[in-house]
Amino acid sequence: QLRLVESGGGLVQPGGSLRLSCAASGFTLDTSAIGWFRRAPGKEREGVSCLGTRDGSTRYADFVKGRFTISRDNTKNTAYLQMNSLEPEDTAVYYCAAARGDYSCAGYVPFEDDYWGQGTQVTVSS
């Protein structure tokens, strides 16, 4: 069974940090591009970050403002999203996605055609 499971969300104060994890099973992330997305209440899902399969390419949404970092640990078959300087506007359910194949984040990555996790809640509030 192919699966992605997000974890690491929770309640954090403005200015705080969280590291989200995305654990894959049933396939290997080292042959997949990784994406992080989020959906806030009443809003559409939006892309947060992308990590290319093998070329090291990354992409970040403008609203990240240098605060987030995407990475992977292939030995653990897990991807990460380090989130620093969190703001209330970052409150959302965060999802990871994998697109199996050799993709660069400089171009379009078809995450919608492959695998998604169930999401982890991030709440930023004082």
pLDDT of residue 100: 93
pLDDT of 88 above 80 = yes
Per-residue confidence (pLDDT) for residue 107, from 0 to 100:
95
Taking alpha carbons only, the member of 22, 32, 27 closest to residue 95 is 22
Position 8 scores a pLDDT of 98
